[in-house]
């Protein structure tokens, strides 16, 4: 049997200023086959928008491997219903786009006291978890950046979140950029290596990798040790020049086959 390899993908959030038709066309023009659909590219969240996105994706010929949920870091209990709405409409998009995995944040502010964090997490994911299961979509909790307003930047914080929301089915989206910035890469892989089902790939400050650094090689090798065959989703800064996107794609096209 031929060994599976990690799948290169591009977050369409990099082209969020474009309408979806041009957004998808640009990704296709760059030579990508796969994408992560980021909800920040949706101008209006309604049934018509879901259908339009589905038809445009089909016409593009691209594969939607993952979807990044719309996110609200709840600062007060009154915002819980809005966080639930964002999560559910994102799941509707994931279903229509045939994305089997949806990346989520904790949806809570890092400034909330522990008991309020617990209440908010329980209520938000008490609705999102069963809805995701009814659609056969796997949720994958992302590690956040040090600058994020959300809670969940290191193993201790992620463990607190998972102890409340996880029923055994929650996956992990490991954001390599965030892990580098928080110096948590080793800790995150050691703790969650077997649960990783999506990877957000960028250097610090969401700059692209245009060469294989020692940190990148070590990270990919660690993923390989856990027999990871999921998405390597390039999630790079909006202002990245096209020529650097091309260079980055060429780099990963060259090195990913080494890890199979």
Lookup: tokens for 203? 């250097």
120-138: average pLDDT: 97
Contact (CB, 8 A) for 226 and 220: no
Instruction: Give residue 259's pLDDT band: very low, low, confident or very high (50, 70, 90).
Output: confident
252-258: average pLDDT: 95
- Residue spans of the domains in the chain: they are 7-258
Q: Residue 45's pLDDT is what?
A: 79
Separation between Cα atoms, residue 204 and residue 215, nearest integer Å: 11
Q: What is the mean pLDDT of the chain?
A: 95
Of 115, 131, 199, 91, nearest in space to 164 by CA: 115
- Strand segments, DSSP code E, in 101-221 are 101-104, 138-142, 171-175, 196-201
Domain spanning 7-258: CATH superfamily: Divalent-metal-dependent TIM barrel enzymes (3.20.20.150)
243-253: average pLDDT: 97
| Digit-coded pLDDT (tens) for 3-49 | 568 999 999 999 999 999 999 999 999 999 999 999 999 988 778 89
| Digit-coded pLDDT (tens) for 76-99 | 999 999 999 999 999 999 999 999
- pLDDT > 70 in the chain, percent: 98
Phi, psi of 100 (to 5 degrees): -80, -15
DSSP one-letter string for 136-161 = T-EEEEEPPPTT-SBS-SSHHHHHHH
pLDDT tops 50 at residue 1? no
167-183: average pLDDT: 96
């Amino acid at each position: 049997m031929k060994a599976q390899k990690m799948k290169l993908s591009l977050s369409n959030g990099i082209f969020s200023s474009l309408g979806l038709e041009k957004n998808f066309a640009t990704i296709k023009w760059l030579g990508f086959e796969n994408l992560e659909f980021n909800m920040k590219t949706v101008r209006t969240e309604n049934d018509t928008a879901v259908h339009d996105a589905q038809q445009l994706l089909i016409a593009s010929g691209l594969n939607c491997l993952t979807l990044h949920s719309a996110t609200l870091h709840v600062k007060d209990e009154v915002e819980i219903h809005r966080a639930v709405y964002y999560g559910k409409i994102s799941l509707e998009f994931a279903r229509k786009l045939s994305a089997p995995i949806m990346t989520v944040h904790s949806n809570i502010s890092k400034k909330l006291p522990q008991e309020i964090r617990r209440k908010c997490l329980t209520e938000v994911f008490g609705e999102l978890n069963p809805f995701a299961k009814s659609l056969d979509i796997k949720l994958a909790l992302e590690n956040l950046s040090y600058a994020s307003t959300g809670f969940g930047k290191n193993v201790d914080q992620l463990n607190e979140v998972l102890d409340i929301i996880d029923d055994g089915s929650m996956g992990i989206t490991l954001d390599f950029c965030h892990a580098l910035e928080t110096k948590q890469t080793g800790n995150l892989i050691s703790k969650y290596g077997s649960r990783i089902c999506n990877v957000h790939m960028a250097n610090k400050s969401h700059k692209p990798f245009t060469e294989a650094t020692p940190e990148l090689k070590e990270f990919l090798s660690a993923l390989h040790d856990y027999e990871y065959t999921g998405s390597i989703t390039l999630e790079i800064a909006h202002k990245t020049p096209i020529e650097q996107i091309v260079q980055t794609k060429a780099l990963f096209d060259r090195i990913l086959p080494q890890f199979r």
